[in-house]
Structure 1
Amino acid sequence: MKISIISFTENGAKLSEMISEKLGEQETELFTKCTYFSGIGESVRKIDAPVVCWAGEQMAKGNGLIFIGACGIAVRAIAPHIVSKLSDSPVIVIDEKGDYVIPILSGHIGGANELACRIAECIGAVPVITTATDIRKKFAVDLFAKKNGLFIENKEGIAKISAKVLAGEKIRLSVETGHMDTEEGLPENFYRLSYPPNEKADILITSETRVSGALLTLRPREYIIGAGCKKGKDPEMFSAFIRNNLIKAGIREDQIYALASIDVKENEPAMVEWSQKRKIPFLTYSSEELLSVEGDFSESDFVKSQVGVGNVCERSAMKAAGPGGELIFKKYAEDGMTIGIAKRRWRVRFDET
């Protein structure tokens, strides 16, 4: 995820440079509304557009936002662009002295809380985390879903589950048979129901759409898109290509676990933009890693001469799917783009949350 940092004073701009250096320059873009540029490096770009327009542009790209300045500026800038806690960009505010790092939007699913703690450690600041489940060190179901590659079917259930957790009430859990290896790490007051549940579950985890009715239903992101494309491909054309083939395969976008390709494509604009806009991980592998994937793949001598492996889309999809993965959509090529889709064998764990 690209992180866009905006500052409003010279000290703030200098702090943004330090944060960029600590995080890694490829992760960040620096902007400022400061009119006095003494001592500010060339990496900081001055913008003339209203901050609210800048914020909308960055959030549309799926970028994380850091405001170095007052919380009020950040709140007013992002307010018109907030859509859903399941898709909003993470937003953080830092004072210009770098004393406090405050996540204000998308703390769990967007990763703002985690990013705030990371930045605070880098610059010696205090992370100000206000999420109730975090400060009380309680189970956060939206964070659990993110870490386990699950999508939330009914977002209104998040608050209901969190309220029950914070109140110390029992949480009834039902997981599709064969997809939870161990009960190790199961949070306090959680107990498992049979599957399908013989009573109403608080949390239901299943890929089977015939089973529903829980307070909160989590579905696995089961599919990996393996893709390739010619250098400089138009992002809209690539997006349409992916969308059309997902329709052919009968797969929804919220079922996608990752986009995968070869490492020479890790900075390909069309692929990076598709991934960032949807907050879907973009995984890349070396030609050696792809060659090690076993299976019957459609090989191309030309592709092999260019990148060292004769099939990128199918092999990368299967590599990302891991053990037990299955290729369910064979290679399809069109106008310099290729796609293959694999289905992963999903599992949930509580001891990693």
Structure 2
Amino acid sequence: MDVNIFAYSNKGCELAKKILNLFPDANCYTTEKLAAVYGYNGEKSVCHKAGELFNKSSAMIFVGACGIAVRAIAPFIKNKMIDPAVIVIDDCGNYVISLLSGHIGGANELASFIAKEIGATPVITTATDINGRFSVDSWAVKNSLTITSMKTAKDISAQILVKDIPFKSDIDICGDFPNGLVYGESGQLGIYVSYKTINPFDNTLHLVPKILHVGIGCKKYTTSEQIEELYRETLDEYNIDLRSIKSLSSIDLKKDEEGLLKFADKYKLSISFYTAEELNMLSGEFTSSTFVKGITGVDNVCERAAYKSSEFGAFIVRKTSKDGVTIAICAHKKEVCF
């Protein structure tokens, strides 16, 4: 976590010591004069430095007035999906204010943590939190789920203040439903946790878990375009969201296959390569091919590779093939918790 602290007075610098104890890897910036006393990073303009670090920080903690923080960050604010958590603490350490990115950025949780540790009062102003209702965006971040539509997420956050929202999940759930959610499979507006692109609700907020692992087999000199064609067709056929794909894998004979590497790079997916011995050691039912075994030493590359990279997960797509390319998809086990 990239935490940067900004202090503007002697009291602020003293309080920054306590905060640094909570985040040992954090950096603290203050005026050049105060830096000589406290050993922090000295800046001619602390606010200018804050602006410089805005897009590089995961959390920014200002010890001083809210107005100072607002003026420092205002030109750099973009949207809640990418802005860092911004916290403001008064010089006396009485209040810890979640100023920006309370949910997705984690400022609300961070403010509560700091307040508890320094004996202050957390100030949280987001509507769902102060009304004791479920916050979909912060929960999605906590469970590593991709929010597919911020507009729909805002609709959820607005409606959940006045009524319960139906919730459906294709993966395991732990914990009790929080205030604001009810189980449901249809309705006007709802939340759906799944790798699927189907819409159980008229207006569906998809929260996508990155749990799918794609095993790939291919002939020598197969192009990235050939792999991509079967890949996209398979995802479409099985209603699979592209954002649910976590990794690619194949046999080590393909570790230098240009088309496969180019495909992985285009989709920014990690790719693992396994030896025939590693793939043959897997137990289970696989679509066997004596032809493939004669060439690679293993009866099925794509299914075995997907199965291994998913840590022996469930098959979503069994071996499918086209133009010398084979694909299989497995899902690793995951649960989301309230």
**TM-score bucket (shorter structure):** 0.5 to 0.7
Change (3 A) 1:189 1:30: closer
Counterpart of 1:151, as a letter, is: T
Per the TM alignment, residue 216 of structure 1 is displaced from its structure 2 partner at its CA by: 2.3
- Counterpart of 1:59 in 2: which secondary structure? helix
Match of 2:325 in 1: none
Deviations 1:222-243 (A, max 9, x none): 369xxxxxxxxxxxxxxxxxxx
Match of 1:4 in 2: 4
Which structure 1 residue ranges, 5 or more long, are not aligned?
A: 225-246, 259-294, 298-317, 329-341
Match of 2:169 in 1: 175
CA RMSD in angstroms comes to 3.7
Per the TM alignment, residue 34 of structure 1 is displaced from its structure 2 partner at its CA by: 5.6
Per the TM alignment, residue 8 of structure 1 is displaced from its structure 2 partner at its CA by: 0.9
Q: 1:47 aligns with which of 43, 47, 59?
A: 43
Deviations 1:8-51 (A, max 9, x none): 11221121122102x1412x1111136345641x2x10112461
Counterpart of 1:220, as a letter, is: P
CA distance in 2, matches of 1:56, 1:345: 41
Query: Mean alpha-carbon deviation: is it higher for 249-258 or for 79-88?
Result: 249-258
Q: 1:296 aligns with which of 260, 278, 287?
A: 278
Is the CA contact (8 Å cut-off) linking 1:204 and 1:217 kept in structure 2?
yes
CA distance in 2, matches of 1:144, 1:36: 40
Match of 2:62 in 1: 67
Q: Work out which structure has the larger RCO, using CA pairs closer than 8 Å and 6 or more positions apart in sequence.
A: 1
Equivalences for residues 265-344 of structure 1 within 5 A? 296=278, 324=313, 344=332
CA distance in 1, matches of 2:139, 2:169: 14
Counterpart of 1:33, as a letter, is: T
Is the CA contact (8 Å cut-off) linking 1:9 and 1:34 kept in structure 2?
no
Match of 2:176 in 1: 185
Deviations 1:323-347 (A, max 9, x none): 7389x9xxxxxxxxxxxxx963333
Equivalences for residues 31-180 of structure 1 within 5 A? 31-33=29-31, 35-37=33-35, 39-40=37-38, 42=39, 44-49=40-45, 51=47, 53-167=48-162, 169-176=163-170, 179-180=171-172
Per the TM alignment, residue 127 of structure 1 is displaced from its structure 2 partner at its CA by: 1.0
Change (3 A) 1:29 1:149: same
Match of 2:206 in 1: 217
- Counterpart of 1:115 in 2: which secondary structure? helix
CA distance in 2, matches of 1:29, 1:324: 42
Counterpart of 1:82, as a letter, is: I
CA distance in 1, matches of 2:242, 2:16: 34
Deviations 1:243-281 (A, max 9, x none): xxxx999899965879xxxxxxxxxxxxxxxxxxxxxxx
Per the TM alignment, residue 98 of structure 1 is displaced from its structure 2 partner at its CA by: 1.2
CA distance in 2, matches of 1:108, 1:157: 15
Match of 1:266 in 2: none
Equivalences for residues 235-274 of structure 1 within 5 A? none
Counterpart of 1:19, as a letter, is: I
Per the TM alignment, residue 125 of structure 1 is displaced from its structure 2 partner at its CA by: 1.2
CA distance in 1, matches of 2:196, 2:151: 20
Is the CA contact (8 Å cut-off) linking 1:203 and 1:216 kept in structure 2?
yes
Is the CA contact (8 Å cut-off) linking 2:88 and 2:97 kept in structure 1?
yes
Counterpart of 1:175, as a letter, is: S
CA distance in 2, matches of 1:49, 1:7: 11
Counterpart of 1:219, as a letter, is: V
Q: 2:27 aligns with which of 26, 29, 41?
A: 29
| Higher-strand-fraction structure | 2
CA distance in 2, matches of 1:135, 1:127: 12
Which structure 2 residue ranges, 5 or more long, are not aligned?
A: 214-227, 236-240, 248-276, 280-306, 318-329
Larger Rg: 2
Change (3 A) 1:173 1:63: closer
Percent identical: 35
Aligned residues: 250
CA distance in 2, matches of 1:24, 1:189: 34
